[in-house]
């Protein structure tokens, strides 16, 4: 059987005080060990959150940027003719998409592999989720907020862009096509498009 001296060996004074409740509460040493493991895991999780938030600069999608979902067609950024893939003057690639029942618009996009691509998404109606299987591209698209994700696709290929938040009867059919092309093909096609 266990006695008090065992407890002194396995627990700090504070933890022992917490557990030494009045009366004769008995906690099995194995149980105590698992309590410590549980607290240790919580510590690891908190450390991981602090590391990604403070050192890696990871924040919730969109940094709480807001947008009027009912007036996307009138907005600067999400009007119909502004949507799609754009190469910015510094060579970075930005994709502007509207998620609406039931698709991501435009329905087909073409982006380069091997370089960061920034997605900016807004919902025109209800909550949607965007996910490109086999990649780390994924976020919720909450009405009223702009979701921003920057990621790099290592491999060229054709990918579906799926909705992964239930948004209505057509949810299962809410997907669009993403074509990821190699750097060579990307540069060849952008040179052609700009006539250089």
- Residues in contact with ligand CUA by the rule CB under 6 A: 128, 163, 165-167, 171, 174
- Cβ proximity to ligand CUA: between 34 and 166 the closer is 166
- Cβ proximity to ligand CUA: between 94 and 128 the closer is 128
Question: Which residues does 100 contact at the CB level (< 8 Å), separation at least 6?
Answer: 123, 124, 125, 128
Strand 84-87 and strand 93-100: pairing? Answer: antiparallel
Residue 67 CA to residue 48 CA, distance in Å, equals: 31
Q: Residue 147 forms beta bridges with which residues? A: 121
- Cβ proximity to ligand CUA: between 135 and 164 the closer is 164
Rounded to the nearest whole angstrom, what is the least distance from the CB of residue 189 to ligand CUA in the complex?
A: 30
Q: Convert 150-167 to b/e letters by CB count within 10 Å (16 or more is b).
A: eeebeebeebebbbebeb
- Cβ proximity to ligand CUA: between 11 and 146 the closer is 146
Rounded to the nearest whole angstrom, what is the least distance from the CB of residue 132 to ligand CUA in the complex?
A: 14
Rounded to the nearest whole angstrom, what is the least distance from the CB of residue 128 to ligand CUA in the complex?
A: 4
Residue 97 CA to residue 84 CA, distance in Å, equals: 6
Strand 175-181 and strand 108-112: pairing? Answer: parallel
- Cβ proximity to ligand CUA: between 117 and 163 the closer is 163
Rounded to the nearest whole angstrom, what is the least distance from the CB of residue 160 to ligand CUA in the complex?
A: 13
Rounded to the nearest whole angstrom, what is the least distance from the CB of residue 67 to ligand CUA in the complex?
A: 17
Q: Is the peptide bond before 106 cis (omega within 30 degrees of 0)?
A: yes
């Amino acid at each position: 059987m266990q006695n008090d001296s065992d407890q002194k060996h396995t627990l700090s004074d504070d933890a022992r005080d917490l557990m030494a409740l009045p009366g004769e509460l008995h906690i099995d040493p194995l149980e105590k060990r698992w309590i410590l493991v549980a607290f240790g895991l919580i510590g690891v999780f908190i450390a991981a959150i602090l590391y990604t938030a403070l050192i890696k600069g990871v924040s919730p999608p969109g940094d709480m940027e807001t947008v009027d979902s009912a007036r996307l067609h009138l907005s600067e950024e999400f009007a119909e003719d502004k949507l799609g893939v754009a190469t910015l003057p510094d060579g970075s690639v930005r994709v502007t998409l509207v998620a609406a029942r039931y698709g991501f618009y435009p329905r087909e996009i073409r982006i380069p592999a091997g370089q960061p691509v920034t997605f900016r998404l807004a919902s025109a109606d209800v909550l949607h989720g965007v996910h490109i299987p086999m990649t780390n591209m994924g976020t919720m698209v909450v009405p009223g907020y702009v979701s921003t994700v920057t990621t790099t696709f290592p491999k060229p290929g054709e990918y579906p862009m799926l909705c992964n938040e239930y948004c209505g009867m057509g949810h299962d059919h809410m997907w669009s096509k993403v074509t990821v092309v190699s750097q060579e093909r990307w540069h060849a096609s952008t040179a052609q498009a700009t006539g250089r």
